[in-house]
Amino acid sequence: MTEETWKRLFARRRRRRCKLLAQTAATVLAGKKMLHDWVGGVAGWLAALLGGDRVVQSFARQLASNIPLPPDAKMVAAARGLQVVGVLLCVLNGDDLRRCQCFIDLALEETKTQLKKILLAAMEDWTALAHFAAKPSAVDGGHGSA
């Protein structure tokens, strides 16, 4: 991502962006499921075309829909990236994470260990986010509130 995109993402009107990021991530993950369902449907159709009975068709559909597809990892990575950015926006806003939709969705899908790995990887890979830290205010003596 470009520096300009980061600046715009973390600029004003950040509150609504978490929900939009959460919705986008959910749509990406739903698209992944739809793709698997489609592949399973094609396999079931092919089994029927070759004379397979309902059991063979069902098996072919279920087997094919559960095999990992080439775009799976990228789709999950994109969804998780959107969610991590949403969490960062909530943190920067000082929002209660229990009300952060991206955090809720991410926590529900990942184990505590996986969540820790994702957040640590994001912090290590996205060092440019440090440039968007809140400016120290005169109220807190210049120490920041993070």
pLDDT digits 0-9 by tens, 66-105: 999 999 999 999 999 999 999 999 988 888 999 999 999 9
CB atoms within 10 A of CB 95: 16
pLDDT of residue 5: 81
Given a cut of 70, whether residue 118 has pLDDT beyond it is yes
- Compare 131 and 92 and report the one with higher pLDDT: 92
Between vectors from CA 35 to CA 30 and to CA 39, what angle results, nearest 5°? Answer: 150
